[in-house]
Amino acid sequence: MSCINNKHILQINNLSISFTQYEQGLRQIDLQVIRNLNVSVHEGELVAVVGSSGSGKSLLAHAILGILPPNCNASGNIFFEDELLDNARIQELRGKKIVLVPQSVNYLDPLEKIGEQVRKECKEESVRRRQEELFSYYNLQKNTADLYPFELSGGMARRVLLSTAMMENPRLIIADEPTPGLHLEAAKNAMRHFREFADKGNGVLLITHDIELALEVADRIAVFYAGTTVEEAPVADFQSMDTLRHPYTKALWRALPQNGFQPFPGNQPYVKDMPKGCSFGPRCLQFTPECEGDIPEQVIRCGTVRCIHAE
């Protein structure tokens, strides 16, 4: 985006993802779950992607890491440090320069002791020391390394996933809802660690439905609605509704406790019933017939927005 001069770490251009499914026997349908999505992370930036359940946030994370399920089709370009990511390159980078803190604790192998998983079976002393440092940072007792996943509480398992992501020397962390199940202190610790990591010149893409948490730590917020980013805004723009650009972002803002907790009627459309044009159209008070046409992304005041009425 034009107002940020730092180098890109991650750049996603026009990402679309669809699933091929069969309905009533042999009728093949193509379910478009993500469409024309753009997101970027620059050096030193923590970018939060906020959106409600089912809006495509985890698929976005999996697309970056090249771990989408086989029944899906993806198009668009993903660049890491200005290099186009193809299958071969992402395999080299995954788990090393680009790491995932997954949404589900089921990513832990139930048959292997925690310490061995976190150290990726590496026996070197320096690796063991790093693991011990991280466990202490995340308030995990030393003997956690000797436990199996079934012996951990949900919160401990999450802290183990955070430690695993930090083990290598990553350049980009994709954290997919890293805090559910953590008590407030542990969640704040995790956020502090992500913030410090970004401040060293790295990048973090924090995926969350918790906009309040995002506003505390992020530099920029990408607002996701029904499979695309409707707005990307510097965090400072959330201080007032007037500096926000998209009617959905404004509705999220009004629903925050500090802004009156005003609920917004209606639901995000299901992928099979997407309206024509703007996906927010049926809920939008500014709706006009033109909203059923093409909705290009525009740059307004150092942010982007997909709304023809935005100013």
Ligand X SMILES: Nc1ncnc2c1ncn2[C@@H]1O[C@H](COP(=O)(O)OP(=O)(O)OP(=O)(O)O)[C@@H](O)[C@H]1O
Residue 59 binding ligand X, by CB under 6 A = yes
Closer to Mg ion by CB, 58 or 259: give it.
58
Stretch in the footprint of ligand X (CB under 6 A) among 53-61, 113-121, 150-158, 281-289 = 53-61
- The per-residue DSSP string of 226-295 comes to TTEEEEEEEGGGGGSGGG--SHHHHHHHHTSGGGT-----S-PPPGGGPPSS-TTGGG-TT--GGGGS--
Out of 15, 18, 56, 135, the residue judged to bind ligand X by CB under 6 A: 56
Residue 181 binding ligand X, by CB under 6 A = no
Residue nearest to Mg ion (CB): 58
User: Going by DSSP bridges, is the β-strand pair 228-234/303-305 parallel, antiparallel, or unpaired?
Assistant: antiparallel
59 binds, among ligand X, Mg ion, none (CB under 5 to 8 A by kind): ligand X
- 280 vs 225: CA distance, rounded Å: 8
Residue 274 binding ligand X, by CB under 6 A = no
Residue 19 binding ligand X, by CB under 6 A = yes
Query: DSSP assignment, residue 107?
Result: G
Token reading at 252: 């999220």
Residue 58 binding ligand X, by CB under 6 A = yes
Total binding residues toward ligand X, as defined by CB under 6 A: 14
Q: Is 196 helix (H, G, I), strand (E, B) or coil?
A: helix
Closer to Mg ion by CB, 64 or 295: give it.
64
Burial class of residue 198 (count of CB atoms within 10 Å of its CB; 0-12, 13-18, 19+): buried
Residue 309 binding ligand X, by CB under 6 A = no
CB of 104 to Mg ion, least distance (A): 9
Out of 42, 57, 130, 246, the residue judged to bind ligand X by CB under 6 A: 57
Which parts of 64-83 interact with ligand X (CB under 6 A)?
69
Closest CA to 136 of 194, 193, 180: 193
- The per-residue DSSP string of 204-227 comes to EEEEES-HHHHHHH-SEEEEEETT
33 binds, among ligand X, Mg ion, none (CB under 5 to 8 A by kind): ligand X
Binding site for ligand X (CB under 6 A): 19, 33, 51, 53-59, 69, 103, 209, 271
